[in-house]
Structure 1
Amino acid sequence: MARPIWTGTLSFGLLNVPVSLMPGERSVDLHFRMLDSRSNTPIRYERVNAETGEEVPWKEIVKAFEYEKGSYVILEPEDIKSAASEGREAVEVEAFVDKDSIGPEYFEKPYVLVPGKKAEKGYVLFRETLKRTGKVGIARVVIRTREYLSAVMPKGDALMLMLLRYPQELVDAGDYKIPEGAASKHRISPKEMQMAEQLIDSMSGDWVPDDYRDEFRSRLRKVIEKRLKSKGVVKPPADDEADMPENATTNVVDFMALLQKSLASKKRTPAKRELAKSTRKVAAKKASVAKKVTAKRASKKRAPARSAG
């Protein structure tokens, strides 16, 4: 179960409804790791000083605004908090507008407002009033120190909070070269227009969101599963293993194997047992590598030196 972003109130006028702000979307992306192709080890991003190249710990990092090239003004956490509105845990509705008056370009991210205990009456009152009037509430809300413009609107039995973009964040379409004028100005004949309308009519239907899937992600997942089954994983060459540091094990391959087992069983694997197996495999592999390196070095010592000729 997702955790609330914050718990506060939804308010307009004198009506205050206790609510929790819950995520309205979930990430379904496939996340990849970047590896060093020479050793098959993960690449780590570090915070380094641009002048010295030394890593900077989090406690030494501050936020600053670059007002000129190379010139900064440092902001303290209190400075940023002071710029936010006082109602940090409140959705404060400032106005109501027609639901069709907000262009699609303004909508950015959805959240769900969930009523608190014994707050159902005020929640339903707000929801049903919005439905009857065809209005949405325009509100300000603070999420993780940043203040957003938002729209509160009904969706079935729920109240959705949609983050909105400010006009300053949008690019005016007039900044681009857009063809202007009527169809006749662009030599479009009435017959062509009629045929285009017939095509749209033949392809028209009801909007059913479940009919659409992220086909790229599905195909990519199949490619990954196929790659796992064929053992098409990247392993470091045997000759290069001697140069690998002790902590540069093949953990990536071991965890990919765990993923394959999970996909096959569609069950969560007991973490401790599988981690123990993984650790034993890594230890055995490291011992095997050390044995090969020792044997290789011994053979080099026994080999006679070549004469220059």
Structure 2
Amino acid sequence: MATSASRSLWKGAISFGLVHIPVALHSATSEQGINFEWLDKRTMDPVGYKRINKKSGKEVDKENIVKGVEYEDGQYVVLSQEEISAAYPKTTQTIGIEMFVPANDIPIIYFERPYYVVPINKGEKVYALLREALVKTQRVGVARVVIQTKQHLAALVPWGPALILNLLRWSDEIRSWKNLNFPAEGTEALGITEKELKMAEQLIMEMSSKWDPEEFRDSFRDEIMRLVEQKAEKGEIQAVAQPEEAESVRSGAQILDLTELLQRSLKSGHKKDGEKTAGPHTAKAPARGTHKRRAG
């Protein structure tokens, strides 16, 4: 397992009912693929990308570039930077839980990117309470969160001592399987016999083992890094200056009295089965049409 980053990527609070839990997000994964950087072989300087007019082949100055969204084939609607900025969701610094659902209700295809949620500002007790309550009820929290001006749907999932915030894909990002040719469910449609099924089950059980992610390696990355280390040992190293990225640090929320807030949340009359919870932390989703997704 890769080592988790020590610096937080986001600070704010988990919010449900009237309860706020101050937390920080830490990346739970890291990209381990090979990143081949473009370099100028004459100077060993990084090579960037130019803004090129695809029709004329000429470079375009930044001030002459506008952003457009393809509405129909070959037809674009141009939006100003002011219009785009106004459409960005309001940064609330909260992981606003809108409902709790059974842990197995969310299909795996929706899960996209996990983050460790770490309590801060003396939020350990209420953090642990929420974690244990989720485990006991076998529920996960469905929430909205804004990270770097982008709104995400997310699931708050207990895992060991941690709460994991797993960003989810929006429903219109999931492609339908209706036009794909899958065999019918069950064994009868294709004439699968009981003997064949038992043999397949036996083979699966014989090949079964306890999950150990350390047993699996990216062979391409290992081979490339072996070549890199060989060249480095021979002194074949070139210095390349890279710009440093600044970390954005935001303040966290303060924790209030837990018992009082839980009592007030229960008395405020939250949703019954089938009803949607409403509250100051609940942001309405923007209209999601069928047109192509906006460029960032």
Q: Any stretches of 5+ residues in structure 2 without a counterpart?
A: 242-296
Residue 24 of structure 1 aligns with which residue? 28
Q: In the aligned structure 2, how far is the partner of 1:60 from the partner of 1:114? A: 44
Match of 1:6 among 10, 13, 16: 10
Residue 51 of structure 2 aligns with which residue? 47
Matched, 1:148 2:161: no
Matched, 1:120 2:124: yes
CA drift of 1:230 comes to: 7.6
Task: Report the 3-state secondary structure (helix = DSSP H, G, I; strand = E; otherwise coil) of the residue aligned with 1:138.
Answer: strand
Residue 293 of structure 1 aligns with which residue? none
Residue 236 of structure 1 aligns with which residue? none
Q: Is the 8 A contact 1:2 1:23 kept in 2?
A: no
> How large is the Cα RMSD of the aligned pairs?
3.1
**Greater per-residue helix proportion:** 1
Q: Is the 8 A contact 1:81 1:145 kept in 2?
A: no
What pairs with 1:120-139 in structure 2 (closer than 5 Å)? 120-139=124-143
More RCO (CA 8 Å, sep 6+): 2
Q: Which amino acid aligns with 1:98?
A: P
The 1:38–1:178 alpha-carbon spacing in structure 2 relative to 1, beyond 3 Å, is farther
Matched, 1:188 2:203: no
Residue 223 of structure 2 aligns with which residue? 219
Match of 1:65 among 63, 69, 73: 69
Task: Show CA shifts across 1:217-265 (max 9, x none).
Answer: 213322443466689xxxxxxxxxxxxxxxxxxxxx541xx79xxxxxx
- Tell me the percent identity: 39
Residue 105 of structure 1 aligns with which residue? 109
Task: Show CA shifts across 1:186-210 (max 9, x none).
Answer: 2333222211111111112222333
Query: What's the TM-score once normalised by structure 2's chain length?
Result: 0.69
Matched, 1:85 2:89: yes
Q: Is the 8 A contact 2:141 2:155 kept in 1?
A: yes
CA drift of 1:180 comes to: 1.4
Residue 252 of structure 2 aligns with which residue? none
Q: Which amino acid aligns with 1:158?
A: A
Q: Which amino acid aligns with 2:115?
A: Y
Query: What's the TM-score once normalised by structure 1's chain length?
Result: 0.66
Task: Report the 3-state secondary structure (helix = DSSP H, G, I; strand = E; otherwise coil) of the residue aligned with 2:223.
Answer: helix
Moved more, 133-142 or 77-86: 77-86
What pairs with 1:146-185 in structure 2 (closer than 5 Å)? 146-185=150-189
Q: Is the 8 A contact 2:91 2:149 kept in 1?
A: no
Q: In the aligned structure 1, how far is the partner of 2:141 from the partner of 2:86? A: 26
